[in-house]
Chain A
Amino acid sequence: MPVTTIGGKEVHVDDEGFMTNYDEWDEELAKQLAKNIGIDELTEEHWRVIKFLREDFKETGETPTLRRVSTVGGFPTKELFKLFPKKPAKKMSYIAGLPKPHGCV
């Protein structure tokens, strides 16, 4: 399991770079992760989505799929594509320090 340094902190990541240890994540790290993938500023809306992902993962043990973020979290799909362009499911889980979602829908 590779260890990498992000924002001066050592974190465990998988081969693709998604964090693998839930507790190594903090908000400062999230800002750096966002920058890594071209999201320079996390707005209030970004944070609401990220916090939902963190909470939901804690409850279910799985990263929510895009559909779950929209139906359970209440964030419209269109909005998610605006906040995390092109690949919202992967991008939001990366910033939230979670594995990428595995569900098909």
Chain B
Amino acid sequence: MTTTEKAPEQATAVVPDFGEDESERKIAFVASKGTLDMAYPALVMANAALGEGIETHIFFTFWGMDIINKKTMGDLKFTPIANPATHMPAALTPLPGVTAMATHQMRKQLEELDVPDVPEFLQLIADAGGHLWACKMSVDMMKLTDDDLFDEVEGIISATDFIELIDGAQTMFI
């Protein structure tokens, strides 16, 4: 009696869907706030989107300019003033030193989680292929020039330019 060797059954391999069909997906963030705690949401999500292979843009406008202004980007602050989520007695929050202390605390927490500081995070996003844009009106209002901005900022563009650019993108305003 002969036995025929059965070829190993080639079950269809379960291959993760790396979503090549999603390559058209596009995400845009409008970063309009310049505090430490409001800078991170855009940076974290933009970085996550890039890791998913999604075309990603961040438009920095108004106070968000502080995130890409070389003079301020390394020194963003977090304040508990008018922020009940810190659960501090409201009357204490405007006292001298409270903002500095809260900022220090938040930086420490971020560092413990190995989250990069703002300039390094922006570099990471640029290295991952993210697009950084400065709002022209804010640049004019604040009398800034290209030289004042983080080197990886691709351009100073108008609101109209940005709207054209993000055609079809999922957009978040922060």
Q: Which residues of A contact B (CB under 8 A)?
A: 2, 4-6, 8, 13, 15-18, 36-38, 66-68, 70-71, 76-78, 81, 85-91, 94, 100, 104-105
Do B13 and A17 have beta carbons less than 8 Å apart?
yes
Out of A8, A17, A77, name the residue touching B15 (CB < 8 Å).
A17
Which residues of chain B from 87 to 136 have any CB-CB distance to chain A below 8 Å in the complex?
Answer: 113-116, 124, 127-129
B10 contacts A105, C-beta separation under 8 Å = no
Q: Is the CB of A87 within 8 A of B52?
A: yes
**Neighbour of A78 across the interface among B15, B51, B127, CB < 8 A:** B127
CA distance A18 to B115 in the complex (A): 26
- Secondary structure of the B side of the interface? loop
- For chain B, the bracket of interface size reads 20 to 34
A-B contacts at CB below 8 angstroms, number: 72
Tell me which residues from 9 to 62 in chain B have a Cβ below 8 Å from any Cβ of chain A: 9-20, 23, 44, 47-48, 51-53
A90 adjacent to B47 (CB under 8 Å): no
- Quick one: given A66-B51, A87-B52, are A105 and B115 in contact (CB under 8 Å)? yes
Find B128's partner among A13, A36, A68, A77 (CB 8 Å cutoff): A77
Bound CA–CA A25/B74 (angstroms) = 43
Which B residues contact A (CB, under 8 angstroms)?
A: 8-20, 23, 44, 47-48, 51-53, 113-116, 124, 127-129
**CB–CB B13/A89 < 8 A:** no
Residues of B within 8 A of A66 (CB): 51, 128
B18 touches A87 (CB 8 A): yes
- Asked if A94 meets B16 with Cβ closer than 8 Å, knowing A81-B128, A81-B129, the reply is yes
- Given A67-B114, A77-B128, are A16 and B16 also a contact pair (CB < 8 Å)? yes
List B contacts of A70 (CB < 8 A).
124
| Alpha-carbon distance A18/B15, docked complex (angstroms) | 8
A89–B51 touching, CB < 8 Å: yes
A-B contact pairs, 20 of them (CB 8 A): A4-B11, A4-B12, A4-B13, A5-B13, A16-B14, A17-B13, A17-B14, A17-B16, A36-B15, A37-B16, A66-B128, A77-B127, A81-B128, A86-B53, A87-B51, A87-B52, A89-B51, A90-B16, A90-B18, A90-B51
